[in-house]
Amino acid sequence: MIVRHLSLAHFRNYAALDVDFSPGINVIYGDNAQGKTNLIEAIAYLSACRSHRARGDRELIALDAGEARITADLLSRSRDFRLEIQLRRGQRRRLKKNGVVLKTAAELAGILNTVLFCPEDLYLIRAGAAARRNFLDGAICQMRPRYAAALAEYKRLHEQKTRILRDWPEQPGLLDLLEDYNVRLCQTGALLIHYRAHFIKKLNQYAPDIHGDCSDGREVLSLGYQTVKTVPDPREKPVVLFPQLMEHMEAHRQAELDSRSCLSGPHKDDLLVQIDGLPAKQYASQGQTRTASLSLKLAQRELLYEAFEEYPVLLLDDVLSELDSKRQSFVLNRIAGGQVFITCCEEKRLDRLEAGRVLHIEKGALAPGGDTKCTCT
């Protein structure tokens, strides 16, 4: 998958931009608050039809404009595509594929897969379990539509059960519904656990080697999966996991009623990350957590390639900070295959770039002479 050309109009701080990209590495550099991340955000939006930074589309439209446009020419699945997204204040967005208006964002699924690593992904290691569950869910949803549907159903059931537990003292009749919700949550939850366990197993086939290469063999990364205690093997079939989940939920029934909250289920799961046998969340340095997060993202990329036989576009926003020189060189020169976008603030970091295109962004535009092609080795 390759983004060949991108046009922006009134998107964030870009009044107008037209730029071609390398099918390999693209480095976007400039001072802070010039628009580097906004460019990455526009590419990511083409993939997910949502921003990883904004609460709503209206935040993406320039303050002095009524609408914003993102247009891209892509190569995907050996076919050419033109995607157009029009964001309008007070109106529904308009999506087009090769000139045809689309009814839903789902019609764009699979045309442009991306893997995004941004500064907020430091929380993937250091924050609570929810951040790592979000990573798992987002990654698996791109590869397994059945998982995406099950996740949406689980969230719906979990929200409804939460309301029952919250309101039952005032409305005791709600407890008559609880057993049915428990059964359905365990049925759906068993599917989530099954998929997560197998994804983490595959992730473990790639992430430790990537982390070892990036740290020059000085560190060992390992991954594990923590789910409910009554599940001895989360990789079992959902039909086996279901009664195990029911056992845990029934054991916590009174505690849930007392606390008026859901205490049992895969919404409590965690991806366990260790470096040299120690929990990374507690003991890793900031540079190590960045390397671990980067390794997880690159491993996700390899799994997407394994699933689709085509690399997703890799978006690396400000990953050079907090990394030593060897890790910086790994990011810039040793990412094999597929298209990569990297943002950074310091031009001096570019002396490690062996091939690709360099774009200098200044005040929401390409700086004069700011589009160069590097082919040095």
Domains recognised in the chain with CATH numbers = 2-113+311-374 (3.40.50.300), 124-282 (1.20.1050.90)
How far is residue 282's CA from residue 91's CA, in Å, rounded to a whole number?
46
Neighbouring C-alpha atoms within 13 Å toward the C-beta of 27: 28
Give the whole-angstrom CA distance, residue 357 versus residue 371: 7
Entry pTM: 0.82
Judge contact between 332 and 23, C-beta under 8 A.
Answer: no
3-state secondary structure at position 316: strand
**CA gap 154, 349 in Å, rounded:** 45
User: Nearest Cα to 148, choosing from 103, 91, 187, 195?
Assistant: 195
Which ranges in the chain belong to alpha helices (H)? 36-48, 123-126, 129-143, 145-167, 178-214, 238-251, 253-259, 280-283, 286-308, 325-333
pLDDT, averaged in runs of 10, over the chain (377 residues):
92 90 88 87 85 81 88 90 89 88 78 84 84 90 84 92 90 89 95 97 94 87 94 95 95 91 93 94 86 88 89 85 72 77 72 72 78 53
Cα–Cα distances (Å) from 239 to 171, 201, 245, 271, 282, in that order, read 34, 20, 11, 23, 36
Greatest C-alpha distance within the chain: 73
Q: Is the dihedral of CA 330, 358, 52, 285 positive or negative?
A: positive
Which pLDDT belongs to residue 333?
67
How far, in Å, CA of 105 to CA of 258, rounded?
42
CA dihedral 17, 21, 26, 31 (to 10 degrees): -10
Supply the pLDDT for residue 64. Answer: 86
Please list the residues that pair with 274 across neighbouring strands.
222, 279
What confidence score (pLDDT) does residue 376 get? Answer: 40
Q: What is the DSSP letter of 61?
A: B
How far is residue 91's CA from residue 84's CA, in Å, rounded to a whole number? 16
Q: Residue 370 has what pLDDT?
A: 60
* Contact predicate 117/97, CB 8 Å: no
First to last CA, the chain: 25
From residue 62, alpha-carbon distances to 6, 66, 89 in Å are: 17, 8, 10
Which DSSP helix (H) or strand (E) runs through 110? none
Distance CA 333, CA 375 (A): 12
- For residue 286, the model assigns a pLDDT of 82
Q: Do 62 and 11 form a contact (C-beta atoms < 8 A)?
A: yes
pLDDT at 1: 86
Residues pairing with 61 in the sheet: 11
Q: Which tokens sit at 149?
A: 């549907």
Burial of residue 250, with CB atoms counted within 10 A of its CB: 0-12 exposed, 13-18 middle, 19 or more buried: middle
Gyration radius (Cα) of the chain, Å: 23
